[in-house]
Amino acid sequence: MSDALSSFPRLPLAHLPTPLELLANLTADNHGAEIWVKRDDCTGLGFGGNKTRKLEFLLGEAQASGADTVITVGGVQSNHARQTAAAAARIGMRCELVLPRVVPLAGDDYDENGNVLLDRLFGAHVFVVADEAAAVREIQARLTAAEERGSKAVVHPPGGSTATGALGYVNAALELCDQLAQAQNAPHFERIYVASSTGGTLAGLLCGFQLAGIDVSVAGVSVAGPAETLRKDVGRLVSDVQALLGLPPLPANRIMIVDGYLGAAYGIPSPAALDAVGRCARLEGLLLDPVYTGKAMAALLDWAADPGPGGGSGAGPVLFWHTGGAPALFAYRQEFSD
């Protein structure tokens, strides 16, 4: 199966396979389905997270094309930007981060701590701009500057969500299948939950399970905007990945988007997300974040406690695909100080 990926250039950046663990205390506290976690917060490089798997393929492709500079874009506290900065440092590429103020937060913690502190520590060139239109202009200016100094630059979109980036999550799905095949008494997951914003992680997982011939529902919890936007983005990425891998189309109803956990907006913690962050920390010593994984875990906990029609008591086990993000905790210090 993984032969399907062997023709794509790939850099070994992540610590793989990531652990698969039972969250026994959280399960007991939640009175419902057994809860497991796939620890992609432990991909290793620069505090880890889901973007590192995508960067193995994205930067593999960039390096193969002779690029010496990577430019990418994300919110001020972007985990994708931070993981790109760390990966670029590792492989000796110049990294330029264009960070529009898409989240209405500012101040010392938000602007300088957490991921931003790490971006600078990794030696990235950071350009904070007012909004998305300004980001487009800044990227153009960066490309012009690269050309003037004789550099070859590549631009990666927010979240690294191209078909190439999503291959990292095709590989991740195959990795989970291997782990389950090797485990004794392996759980048979009824559902997988993952935080979704640009959709590359969800699209890659769906195509990976398709490739493996495994029928499992993967629920993408929308944390960045309207569910319908995410559904379209995932649908487009799924088709692009299928084209790359020569896979047939999936029925459109395979794309499961969970709505209702976004809260006020992307980057604004919801009470349910803060509660999930606190419960995982106190019960499991497990760090989530207030922007992505806290919201996704809130959705999982509700479902695991009450799966509703078709689920019923005895539903599960359920897998939380941890995508990282904990470095942003330090940017949201005030949410946690009582």
Could you report how far apart the first and last alpha carbons of the chain are, in Å? 50
Residue 329 within binding range of ligand PLP, rule CB under 6 A: no
Measure the CA dihedral 223/220/33/294, to 10°.
Answer: -20
Choose one: 145-153, 266-274, 301-309, 322-330; the region binding ligand PLP (CB under 6 A).
322-330
Query: Tokens at residue 220, please?
Result: 């993408």
Question: What is the Cα–Cα distance from 323 to 165, expressed in whole angstroms?
Answer: 15
Choose one: 19-27, 190-198, 257-265, 272-280; the region binding ligand PLP (CB under 6 A).
190-198
Closest to ligand PLP by CB, 68 vs 333, is 333
Residue nearest to ligand PLP (CB): 325
Q: Is 161 a catalytic residue?
A: no
The 205-234 site mask, x for binding ligand PLP (CB under 6 A), equals ------------------------------
Place of tokens 């300088």: 112
Choose one: 122-130, 138-146, 253-261, 318-326; the region binding ligand PLP (CB under 6 A).
318-326
Q: Please check whether residue 233 is in contact with residue 204, taking contact to mean a CB–CB distance below 8 angstroms.
A: no
Minimum distance, C-beta of residue 336 to ligand PLP, in the bound complex (Å): 17
Choose one: 105-113, 194-202, 211-219, 264-272; the region binding ligand PLP (CB under 6 A).
194-202
Minimum distance, C-beta of residue 324 to ligand PLP, in the bound complex (Å): 4
The 242-281 site mask, x for binding ligand PLP (CB under 6 A), equals ----------------------------------------
The residues, any chain, with a CB within 8 Å of residue 62's CB and separated by 6 or more, are 70, 93, 154
Beta-carbon neighbour count of residue 133 at 10 Å?
A: 10
Strand (E) or helix (H) holding 322 = strand 318-322
Strand 153-156 relative to strand 256-258: parallel, antiparallel, unpaired? unpaired
Closest to ligand PLP by CB, 199 vs 208, is 199
For residue 130, the one-letter residue type is A
The 284-313 site mask, x for binding ligand PLP (CB under 6 A), equals -----x--xx--------------------
Residue 201 within binding range of ligand PLP, rule CB under 6 A: yes
Minimum distance, C-beta of residue 80 to ligand PLP, in the bound complex (Å): 5
Q: Which of 334, 306, 333 is nearest to 318 (CA)?
A: 306
The dihedral sign for the CA sequence 150, 66, 139, 243: positive
14-28: b (≥16 Cβ within 10 Å) or e: bebebebbebebbbe
Out of 2, 6, 65, 78, the active site residue is: 78
Strand (E) or helix (H) holding 163 = helix 163-182
Residue 50 within binding range of ligand PLP, rule CB under 6 A: yes
Which residues are catalytic, by number? Answer: 78
Question: What is the binding site for ligand PLP (CB under 6 A)?
Answer: 49-50, 79-80, 159, 161, 195-202, 289, 292-293, 323-325
